[in-house]
Structure 1
Amino acid sequence: MVRGGNSAAANEAASFLAGHLGIFMQSSANTGQLYQVLKNDLGVTYFPRPNGQRANGIAVGGAALWIANDKPSAVQDGAWEFTKFLASAQTQADWQAKTGYLAVNKGAKDEPR
């Protein structure tokens, strides 16, 4: 609970690290910064949902990726090859370690960092 005002997104991490905020919902991009300070004393989980309801995905942010369907086949094929590279376990492990975003490939957890 925030006393005496509100907490803008920019202040959430600082308030959390100072022990003034016990929980907050934010992009997984913040986990790198938080782990640097808190080491192994940090928990990360999925968005909560009502009991009995299926998970409904994640909030879409600026790190989304698309392949346009109105481009020539050669462009789409090149985009698909690049997308496969980005989604590979090795690339995702590196992406997660360097950015704090959560890997989209479960195999990333088995990759050396």
Structure 2
Amino acid sequence: MQMSNIEIEQAAHIFKLFGDKTRLSMVKMLESHDYCVCEFVAVFKASQPAISQHIRKLKDVGLISETRRGQWIIYSLNKQSEYYPFVQHLLQQIPNQDYLLKELEEQGLRISCD
């Protein structure tokens, strides 16, 4: 895979964003599924404002995008982002986080946002 180069300042900013375990986990989770805020709140046992702040920081650099489905806003990994090839390479180095979704489903907390 040909990886596009990004400037050192941009790479440092991405690393800083990923220095937070919650944001890193969120992006890794978004690699395989789309989520709404309420699901992240349940997974991370964090407040909705705290999760929204994490999402805002990731949206500000274009790493995640949102789609409105009725009253729900669904977040996904923005594979069109200029940073995606860099991020994708990083994400390949860390374990899958799908078990978090499975735990949510087992607790009956997986929300259908359709």
The structure that is helix-richer by fraction is 2
Interval containing the TM-score (normalised by the shorter chain)? under 0.3
Larger RCO of the pair (alpha carbons < 8 Å, separation 6+): 2
The structure that is strand-richer by fraction is 2
Name the TM-score, length of structure 1 as normaliser.
0.24
Structure label with greater radius of gyration: 1
